[in-house]
């Protein structure tokens, strides 16, 4: 393979058998359990990078079931998202994510800069409860429960929230271990088809873990929960701040 062929072919590793295909990436019947809670401002200030700004000390803990996604397959993920502002506009910063499937881990990290690690998240219904769990190896680090679809939510409000900017810190090291890429990325959810949106009473329990420190953003008060099912496309995004420039 000559140099021009390498340049034309390469978009992901390995060169001759990439771990994921080129986008776009469409998700069908993507199911969210999002539990919103109040935490300690000092804890958020330790993990949210400038130039992002914190308004209120709020975190959204997400459990997401993706049964049908182009290129990535059938998998679950879980993690923490923090409402922020950037240049005065409201958005949200993805602080931590845990998945049980290789291709979306590789693609998420390499393309966008999602902070993804391998773990065992799960989202399912047991009788009258929607239950999310996150295990890192044999250790349970998060458990979330919502009463199953007690009250319908306004779809326009949910669509507005889903359209807000999402921010990621993309870090790719040089061969000497120093950062070669260090960027703030803005991505959006596109072509959203909202199928259902409900709320209900909720609880969230977080446990300390050295390698999955979700409990470092402790739960002080549950503010609400949503259960959403939607089709959507994961936009590839753009760089909005270069830390190395």
Which residues are designated catalytic? 116
What values do phi and psi take at 102, rounded to 5? -65, -55
From 85, 47, 91, 49, select the one nearest 217 (Cα to Cα).
Answer: 47
Plot region of 137 (φ>0 → left; ψ -120 to 50 → alpha; else → beta): left
Contacts of 120 (CB under 8 A, 6+ apart): 100, 134, 135, 136, 137
* Bridge partner residues of 125 (DSSP): 130
Burial class (CB in 10 A: 0-12, 13-18, 19+), 101: middle
Does residue 20 contact residue 104 with C-beta atoms inside 8 Å?
yes
User: Nearest 5 degrees, angle CA 216-CA 214-CA 129?
Assistant: 130
**Three-class SS of residue 91?**
strand
Q: Before 14, cis peptide (omega within 30)? A: yes
What's the rounded Cα separation, in Å, for the pair 160 and 212? Answer: 31
* Bridge partner residues of 53 (DSSP): 85
């Amino acid at each position: 393979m000559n140099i021009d062929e390498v340049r034309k072919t390469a978009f992901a590793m390995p060169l001759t058998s990439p771990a994921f295909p080129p986008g776009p990436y469409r998700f069908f019947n993507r199911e969210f359990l999002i539990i919103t809670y109040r935490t300690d401002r000092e804890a958020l200030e330790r993990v949210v990078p400038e130039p992002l700004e914190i308004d209120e000390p709020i975190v959204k803990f997400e459990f997401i079931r993706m049964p049908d996604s182009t290129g990535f397959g059938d998998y679950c993920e879980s993690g923490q998202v923090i409402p922020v502002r950037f240049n005065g506009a409201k958005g949200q910063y993805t602080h931590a994510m845990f998945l049980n499937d290789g291709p979306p881990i590789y693609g998420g990290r390499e393309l966008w800069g999602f902070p993804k690690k391998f773990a065992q998240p799960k989202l399912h219904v047991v009788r009258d409860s929607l239950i999310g769990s996150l295990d890192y190896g044999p250790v349970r680090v998060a458990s979330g429960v919502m009463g199953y679809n007690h009250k319908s939510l306004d779809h326009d409000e949910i669509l507005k929230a889903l359209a807000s900017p999402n921010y990621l810190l993309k870090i790719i090291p040089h061969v000497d271990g120093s950062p070669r890429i260090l960027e703030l990325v803005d991505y959006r959810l596109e072509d959203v088809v909202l199928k259902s949106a409900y709320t209900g009473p909720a609880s969230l329990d977080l446990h300390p873990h050295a390698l999955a420190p979700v409990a470092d953003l402790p739960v002080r008060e549950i503010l609400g929960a949503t259960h959403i099912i939607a089709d959507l496309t994961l936009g590839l995004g753009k760089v909005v701040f270069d830390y190395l420039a």
